[in-house]
Amino acid sequence: MSALHFNAFVMNTASHINHGQWRHPDSRQTDFEDVDVWIDLAKRLEDGLFDAMFFADVVGVYGPADGDYTPNARQGLQIPSNDPAVLLSALAVNTRDLGFAFTSSVLQEHPFAFARKVSTLDHISRGRIAWNIVTSAQESAARNFGLPGLVEHDERYRWAEEYVDVTYKLWEGSWDEGALVKDREGGVYADASKIHRINHVGERYRVEGPHLPSPSPQRTPLLYQAGASGAGRAFAARNAEAVFLAAPTPAIAAETIVETRRLAVEAGRRPEDIKFFQGISFVIGSTEEEARRAEAELDEYASLEGYLTHMNFGTRPDGTPYPPETQLKDIHTNASQSILEWLRRSVPDREATVADLGKVLLSRGRLVGTPETIADKLEEWQRAGVDGINVVNWRIPGSYIEFIDHVLPELQRRGLAQTEYTPGTLRRKLFGRDHLDERHPASRYRGAFGGEA
């Protein structure tokens, strides 16, 4: 049995997934603007041999575009929030092995500027950066970047295909190996004959190049993606190296994994070219009774308003609520279709309704028990095809300290968690190599622009 990978799933905000917990006196995410909160956490995660910190992000507010965001502000629900990419520089220089994944939407930055930023971060971290590719699911996000509204769901993935294509050309094709010379005696810093314009002309972008940074340790960052809709799976199958799941059961996760890997093979890749990470929060006790008491205490702080505002599937686009008896299968959304489907399937014995949303949201994705019973459950997820866990916190840093101190030793005893880091880049730690393999679509740009001086 191979070891699972573990990411700390966080966000540069007060209330990310488990809403209301910021009110607890031991919760440091209330002070998320303080860089020491994150530096301290990164060091603790590295001591615990976590693979990475995975930063979620959004560039809009949840809810109807013209709606009231009072509950968002009241709950600290991803507003205020800060840019995770800026934070990563501080975390990278205070760690040596921990990876850093950050979310960035195709909406929010031109691909030329984004590719330059990522290469800079990969240099600073010595190759420990990952990009979670998202297309945004909020109307307000689209408006924040000059669009009249959210582009249709599948069309957003077509947009993403061109976006990543531009970045691949810059990262993989603009600089040949050996272009950076640093020849002091000869007076040549870089060989212009090995640095190329990409001259991309597409539906949305025209990018001449060349890429301004020299190749970073990974060239292309490790690539995450979270879409599980039809369009999302197809995109992941072509582009992703790691896919984030929020499936309600191992069996449903297995369906997504099998289908995505099948699509990857059709795209010329191998099933093992993609690793799958399931999002789970943990409630830990030395006995089952102690774990249940801890769960009850967490639920005392839980904010139902926060959960419902976050998902927002109980509200029409115009802000009016759906009747409670409305079945989730009858709700049509241009936002996160995969999350809605997973919520629907969280009620296995009948069709889930809007009235079920509160209970489903409060309890989904949680494992409660002793380290031994939690390890048993993680073995079930691994048998379903899951390669790693995105550990969702209740409170920072307590959720991670408890997991590291109590669960990881049991996982290590079973061979389910690593006992030391593999030296090198994040991709080397996960896949045994620094650069994308030759089956990935980005590889076709290596040496493709040699005709341009």
User: Binding site for FMN, residues?
Assistant: 57, 103, 153, 157, 229
Cα–Cα distance, 204 to 165 (Å, whole number): 12
Cα–Cα distance, 154 to 158 (Å, whole number): 7
- Nearest Cα to Cα of residue 141 among 112, 105, 111, 114: 105
Cβ distance 417 to 411 under 8 Å? yes
- Nearest Cα to Cα of residue 425 among 433, 414, 417: 433
| Residue list for the binding site | 57, 103, 153, 157, 229
Burial annotation 323-357 (CB, 10 A radius, 16+ → b, else e): eeebebeebeebbbbbbbbbbbbbeeeeebbbebb
Cβ distance 275 to 264 under 8 Å? no
Helix (H, G, I), strand (E, B) or coil at 347: coil
Task: Write the burial class of residue 66 (CB in 10 Å: 0-12 exposed, 13-18 middle, 19+ buried).
Answer: exposed
Cα–Cα distance, 120 to 239 (Å, whole number): 22
Cα–Cα distance, 339 to 211 (Å, whole number): 36
Cα–Cα distance, 119 to 209 (Å, whole number): 14
How many CB atoms within 10 Å of residue 322? Answer: 18
User: β-strand 99-105 against 129-134: which pairing, if any?
Assistant: parallel
How many CB atoms within 10 Å of residue 3? Answer: 18
